[in-house]
Every structure is written in structure tokens, then in C-alpha cells.
Amino acid sequence: MKRIVLFLIFLEGNIMANENFVNPILAGFYPDPSICKVNDDYYLVNSTFAYFPAIPIFHSKDLVNWKLIGHAIDRIEQLDLNGFGVSRGIFAPAIRYHDGVFYITCTVVDGKGNFVITAKNPEGPWSKPVWLPDVMGIDPSLFFDEDGKAYLTYNSGAPDDRPLYEGHRTIRIVEFDYKNLKTIGKPKIIVNGGVDISKKPIWIEGPHIYKINGLYYLTCAEGGTAEDHRQVIFRSKNVFGPYEAYPHPILTQRHLSPYRKFPVTCTGHADFVETPNGWWAVFLGCRPYEPSQENYYNTGRETFLAKINWKDGWPIILEGNEEVKYFDKLPFGKKIPPTDIPYSGNFKIRFDFSKGELHPSFIFLRTPREKWFNFNQNGLSIKLRKDSCAQFGNPSFIGRRLQHSKGYIMTKMSFSPTGENEKAGLIIFQDEEHFYYFCKSKKDSKETLELYISDGNKHPEYMKLVEQKDIETEKPIILKIEFQGKYFAFYYGYDEKDLILFRDKIDATFLSIRKAWGFTGNILAMYAVTLGKDSTNMALYNWLEYEGNDDCYKMNK
């Protein structure tokens, strides 16, 4: 294994008092968290949709400092994501452990449906998917009971496929043969609609069952994954019900003012874990740029952590007007030093590609079917190919998640275009119809810098030119994209300490979920493309630097 060399700085605001941790614990596009505990080790997974490798496996000893140890889907023979829209594919994996085996259940939306994979080592290798064609719905989750039986819960359609209103769904349970990975018998509806069907609750989903003090607790999300998102809880003496509902959400921020300072919105899709210091919950939430009704954010849905408090036998995450905390007490009273790159707080990190390996946090847009990049002593070479990020294949695109609303990404690149169709640079990408591309190319006999905006099918190659500038040199060029809340700014130059403004005040809300839709967040990527036909040309990236410095982390002084 080659050594990955990183230059890492923790910035002001991420230096916590010894008793505090920073939320979100996984910043950026890490939605739909699921967690399990094995002895003193904690493992967490997230949705990845059409990105590859899929389903990151995080490990922690303290619930706060996480290390990315692998991905559950990392081979084309497991799953080929080509042809899927960027917000389709892998939805809501759930991880569980029983008798020496790890299990992940998950859904491939627009694909073959639900599946289960297994591994004896969480780092992998994970098995090929075993498909569950009789599980009709999404968000499957396993529960292992004390008597040796196992059950699968999942979101499904309305009774008899006759919804009473838009968003009317059910939670169903079926016995599961975990040794042979198949269901037993017929599923039973255990929740119809939600907590109170008379109020027409929508999109009951993300079910998980736990057995605590002799009772079965079922937690689910309601309200959809936007501002109305909330977490609810049910309990029963029997795994098949009937289930009694707690009348209020155990987690939501939907009723709070959108103008509060440093809001966290859209909270829900929680999973619970028991620790030596009680029960804790991981859940998704979003951080808007600023207090406003619009709820603009580009970082996507992120993973947060909070302690569960018990009230009259019910587990409560947050109740009343409690807000999600950016700083909270450490679960175990002390912080374990990180063993990986940071995933929360403010930080600066540089990836040195001359050492010959990508950090596992880098992702591809869908599954590579060929090797179109390589390493040498100078860095990472990416082949120009005609596959476009505006289509549904696997372009020459290597990215990492946007984790802050303020900061920058910067790279040093060597590239000599042979024609106007060849382009290489940096892209900030939300989906096939929402991205900005900052690249080097050629116009007539001169090399140029170009900034494009995506434009659906209205212009050739799905993007139109915003600005173009001739450059006279063939030296390696430095490209930088600054994110400044509602705006992006683009810089270039040949000395990273003396860069030239190319264009500023570019609308970042164009890439927000409110305008773009979707379940992902922005991805910052090295992207090389040739319009119309493949090329043998390569773009060389020496290093990639990322810095994030959000204001919400500066208040813990």
C-alpha cells in the first residue's frame, strides 16, 4: 500500500475544549446515516446515490472522530451505476452486526430494488448483492431479536396500493432468514401513514427497530427530507405490534424560526446506538448559508450526533424549541486523536498526488468501466474522454465533497490542449443540469481560460460560456474556486500566493437543493473532457488543496 501524503491544518474554531465535539460529525454530502456497535467499535454508513465507490464505511472509537476504512460497493461486479441519474441509485443503507457477520441492507432506486450484502471484516471485501425481489419498497433495515430470529422492516406503499392522499405510505415487517438471506412468510403492516393518519402524515420511511427493557421501539422519519422532516417513535410488546405512537416528534426543527442564528434544518432519518454513556442518535441535517426563508445550502444533507434522553419510557433526541447544537459534550468525556483526515469543523488539507494514491474520500461519478487515470512522479494524470458530466455515464471526474459554505478548492494543473474541444480544470457539480466548469482550453491558436454554466439541452454539450480569457503561457496553471455563501469566485495564476481574479459574484444558489433539487450535495472535482470525440491527451494535476472556514465554528471561544 502506497503512502498518501497530506498537508493538514486545523483552523480556528475546530480547536475544541476537551469536553466538546463539533457537529456535524460528517460535514458535507453524508446523508441517511446508519450506525452499529461491535464491542468498543462503532461503524457508520451513508447514502451515495450514483457516486462510486458506494456506501462509505466509517469507523470510530468515540462517535466523534471517524476514519473512512472502505466502501461496501467498490467493484463493478457488485453494482454498475452507469445509466443512473445522480440522485438515483443507492438509497439509505442500514448496517447491522450479528454473530460475527456485518450486514448492510439497501435500495437501488431505478434499479433492481432492495438487496443485502455481508462481510466478516467491515473494511471488506463485501459480498455481491443478494436481491430481495419480494421486498417491495425502500429503506430496508434488519433487526436481530434475542430469540435468534431476525426481521426486516421497510417503507412500502399504502394498504392494497390505494393511497388516501399523496405521500401516504406504510412501514412493513417480515421475518428474515439471515443465514440464507431471504424473507420468510408474508409482510405485515405495522404503521399506516404515520403517527396520526387523520393528519395525513407523508413519507413514513427509514424504519429501525431496537429492543430496550423488554419493549420493541420503532423509529421512523416522517414529512419528507426537506424542512418538514421529523423523527418519530413507536413502541410495542410484540415485534409485530400493535405499536403505540409517541404523539410528538422526537426530533425536528421545522417549527423554529428560519431567521435564527446558524440554523440547522431538515433534521431526521435517525438511527440509534447504545453506548457505555447511554443511547445516542445519528441523524441528517442541513446548514443554510445564512438565516433566511429560502434555506439555501450547497453542502447537502450531513450527519449529526446527539444524546438521547428518556422521558416516561420514550427516547427523545430534541424536544420543544431545542436547537441542534454545533458544540456538545463529548459522549465519553474525552477526545480520541483523529487517525484520518478531518470530517468536521474548520480545516485545511492538501492532497499530494505525486505519492501515487487517492485518499478513499475521493469519488467518481458512477462506476468506472476502464482505467482512465494514472500516477507518476509529478502527480495524477487524467485522460480526456467524451463522456460528459451532463450525461449518465462515467466521465473523467475525480471529486470530493463540499463540506463548508465558506472556503476554497485549488489545484496546480499542467495541460496543453490541441483544440477547442479539449478542456480540463475544476468543476463544482450538483447534478447533470447544475454545475460550473472552470477550465483551460484553446481558441484559434491561443490557450484560453473558460468558465461555463450548465444549461440542460439548450446548448451544445449541455453548457454555455460565461467568460473566456486568452492566456499566453504554457506553464502549469493554478486554478482556484472560492465559495462565499451565496456566491462563487474563480481565480487563476502561476503563483498560489499571487492569483488573479477571473470572475466573482457567480450565483451559488443555482447549485443549491432549492433550485437544483436532488438528494446529494455539491462535489468539487478535477474534470477533463473532450467534446465530440475521445482524445489521447492527458491533464496532469500535481496537488489539490481544500480549505473550509465556516462562521458557525467560530462561536466556541
Which one of 62, 175, 205, 545 is the catalytic residue?
205
pLDDT at 18 over 70: no
pLDDT at 16 over 90: no
Question: What span, in angstroms and rounded, lies between the C-alpha atoms of 407 and 400?
Answer: 14
Query: What are the grid coordinates assigned to 196, written together?
Result: 396520526
Confidence band, pLDDT 50/70/90 cuts, at residue 335: confident
pLDDT at site 445: 87
Residue 101: how many CB atoms within 10 A of its CB?
Answer: 12
Question: What span, in angstroms and rounded, lies between the C-alpha atoms of 156 and 137?
Answer: 4
Q: Mean pLDDT over residues 235-240, rounded?
A: 98
pLDDT at 4 over 70: no
pLDDT at site 10: 52
| Structural domains in the chain plus CATH codes | 17-329 (2.115.10.20), 347-553 (2.60.120.200)
Confidence band, pLDDT 50/70/90 cuts, at residue 15: very low
Question: What span, in angstroms and rounded, lies between the C-alpha atoms of 49 and 92?
Answer: 9
For residue 350, how many C-alpha atoms fall within 13 Å in the half-sphere facing its CB?
A: 12
The total number of residues written for the chain in this structure: 557
Query: What is the tens place of the pLDDT at every residue in 303-325?
Result: 999 999 999 999 999 999 999 99
Confidence band, pLDDT 50/70/90 cuts, at residue 460: low
| Secondary structure string (H, E, C) spanning 357-419 | CCCCCCEEECCCCCCCEEEECCEEEEECECCCCCCCCCCEEEEEECCCCEEEEEEEEECCCCC
Confidence band, pLDDT 50/70/90 cuts, at residue 14: very low
Q: Mean pLDDT over residues 39-55, rounded?
A: 98
Q: How many helices (H) and strands (E) does the chain have?
A: 1, 41
For the question of residue 196 being annotated catalytic, the response is no
Confidence band, pLDDT 50/70/90 cuts, at residue 555: low
Query: Which among 108, 167, 93, 31 has a CA at the least distance from the CA of 513?
Result: 31
CA-to-CA separations, 210 to 46, 172, 214, 415, in angstroms, rounded: 20, 15, 10, 55
Query: What are the grid coordinates assigned to 492, written together?
Result: 487563476
Query: What is the tens place of the pLDDT at every residue in 96-106?
Result: 999 999 999 99
DSSP-assigned letter for residue 514: H
For the question of residue 175 being annotated catalytic, the response is no
Which one of 32, 139, 175, 547 is the catalytic residue?
32
pTM: 0.96
**Are residues 540 and 375 in contact, defined by beta-carbon separation less than 8 angstroms?**
no
Per the rule left: phi > 0, alpha: psi between -120 and 50, beta: everything else, 13 is left
Q: Mean pLDDT over residues 98-117, rounded?
A: 98
pLDDT at site 474: 79
